[in-house]
Amino acid sequence: MPITGVCQQWQGLISVDTRAGYSTNTILNPFSGEWDRSSSSGYGFISPMGQLYWSREKYSADITGGGVYQPFFDGRDELMGGFSLLNFRRRFGSSWSAGMETGSSYFSRPFVRGMAWFQPVIAWSPTLFSQIRVRAGSTYRDYESLQEGVSGSDRFDTYGIEFEVWPTFKWQLRAGMYGNMDQLADNQSFMINAEHRFTDALQVSARLNADRHSYQLIQDIEGSGSPGPPIGGPGSGGGTDTEMLDETDRLVKAGLSGRYRMNQSFALTMNMDHIGLYSSASEQTLHDYQLSAGVRYTVQPKLGGRGKAEPEWKQNGQQILSLKINYSGEGQLYIIGDFNDWDNPGMPLTRQSSNRYAAQLSLPTGAYEYKILLIDGPEEKWIDFSNDTYTVSDGFGGTNGLVFIE
């Protein structure tokens, strides 16, 4: 038997995203998505997020939950809310998969908005380095503008077609087309995204979005209408002595992002976005921008590893090895293996902290199998290794850890 035969796996991810920035339009905030250029202001941003990933044979799922807190420095109400995502998929062969993406969010101030969506997704990978995804589904929205006093509930039936390719291992290119299914010709959005990894630590991405929204503007015969685009808004109200005008808003959004990973946990982030609105209704061109920079903290907690040993081998110089074991439990730990002819109980590990033990060995070049033995009073017990430890079959129905000495 080869190494760990795990067929079911949980993995977790926790991150906290913090930023400070300046924005002239809240449409540039990915969590707001509402058109509001009433004031330009600096802002702070913090978003904790947790994610669980599960897989078993051909099935996999991920659950994501997080919160957002965004205070504005000009005294406006802060944006607060939370979101959840549940994605489930099944793989059919090596090229096809299908599943469901669902989620919900709730944000408040200066609006109150609750949303829920579900989207069946089909994905096809013609090669290992490319994928086409088609998704279509419905989004339900409940909205209330606290400033304008408008409220309502509605449903959008949307579709999306996305293509992604990795022409080299440093470039990732994505393109997508999105729209409303009940207004196929009226509302369309196109996206192009290019990401380049300069080094393992530094990656930079550039993106370009082009949206077209056609709508009918209800206008007083002697008056003029508002140029505000329909994005995120509940729609226009009605009037009496009015006429209907066919209008189109075109938005072009360009952005540049960078991320520099300082170590396993911390990364510096930077975002620059510009959006241009070209409205036929007002015959105006509007420009807005956003700049932000921050720090992201990420940690991947070990799941299901309680009571298991996770050795960390470090080779100092030619043949001296430092071994550290992460293990939480009572008793004295020993390492035993090929290096000492499996002579019980082996070499004792010294306790460095509540769950960390260490030893130093001097071994010539070669491969060595080993085990960790726990002696607690009269009881002796072999400690299982974590899933991340390199283990091999011992031929007797168990497993040994294996380490190579250069």
Partner 1 sequence: MNMKWNIHYIRYASNLLALSLVALFPVMGMAQDQSLNDLIKIAQDAGIEQSRLDELQSRAASRGIDDQQLIQIIEPALALAKQKLPTEMIFQKAMEGMAKGISSQQIQPVLQNLRLGMESAVLIVGPWVERGDVSQMMRQSGEQISGRAFRNELLKAGSKAMSQNVTPEALQQLLEAIGEEATLARSKPSGILTAVSIFSDLPSTAEHPLASGAVVARALKSGFGAGDLQKLPGAMNSAQRRSQLPSASVIEGLSGQMQGGTPASKILQNLSNGNIGGGPPGNVPGLDNKPDRGRPDNR
Range 3-22, binding partner 1 (CB under 8 A): 3-4, 6-7, 9, 11, 13, 15, 17
The answer to whether 183 contacts partner 1 (rule: CB under 8 A) is: no
Query: ∠ at Cα 62 (60, 64), nearest 5°?
Result: 175
Binding flags for partner 1, 300-339, as an x/- string (CB under 8 A): ---------------x--xx----------------x-x-
CB 116 within 8 A of CB 127: no
Q: Kindly identify the residues of this chain, within the stretch 110-149, that bind partner 1 according to CB under 8 A.
A: 115, 117, 119, 123, 125, 127-131, 133, 139
- CB of 236 or CB of 242, closer to partner 1: 236
The answer to whether 157 contacts partner 1 (rule: CB under 8 A) is: no
Residues 398, 391: Cα–Cα separation, whole Å: 10
- Provide CB contacts within 8 A for 93, sequence distance 6+: none
The answer to whether 256 contacts partner 1 (rule: CB under 8 A) is: no
385 DSSP 8-state letter:
B
The answer to whether 66 contacts partner 1 (rule: CB under 8 A) is: yes
The answer to whether 97 contacts partner 1 (rule: CB under 8 A) is: yes
- CB of 260 or CB of 382, closer to partner 1: 382
**Phi (first) and psi of residue 389, to 5 degrees:** -85, 140
CB 116 within 8 A of CB 140: yes
- CB of 121 or CB of 219, closer to partner 1: 121
Minimum distance between the CB of residue 328 and partner 1, rounded to whole angstroms? 22
Give the position of tokens 């080094």: 199
- CB of 174 or CB of 351, closer to partner 1: 174
CB 288 within 8 A of CB 274: yes
Q: Kindly identify the residues of this chain, within the stretch 353-382, that bind partner 1 according to CB under 8 A.
A: 364-367, 369, 371, 382
Binding flags for partner 1, 34-53, as an x/- string (CB under 8 A): -------------x-x-x-x
Q: Which residues of 41-78 are buried (b: 16+ CB within 10 A; e: fewer)?
A: bebbbebbbebebbbeeeebbbebebebebbbeeebee
- Provide CB contacts within 8 A for 118, sequence distance 6+: 100, 101, 102, 137, 138
The answer to whether 68 contacts partner 1 (rule: CB under 8 A) is: yes
- CB of 6 or CB of 146, closer to partner 1: 6
Q: Kindly identify the residues of this chain, within the stretch 187-246, that bind partner 1 according to CB under 8 A.
A: 187, 189, 200, 211, 231-232
Interface with partner 1 by CB under 8 A: which range of 97-105, 216-224, 235-243, 323-331?
Answer: 97-105
From candidates 105, 219, 279, 290, binder to partner 1 by CB under 8 A: 105
Query: ∠ at Cα 130 (126, 131), nearest 5°?
Result: 75
Bridge partners, 196 (sequence order): 171, 204
The answer to whether 177 contacts partner 1 (rule: CB under 8 A) is: no
- CB of 288 or CB of 369, closer to partner 1: 369
Residues 177, 191: Cα–Cα separation, whole Å: 6
- CB of 2 or CB of 223, closer to partner 1: 2
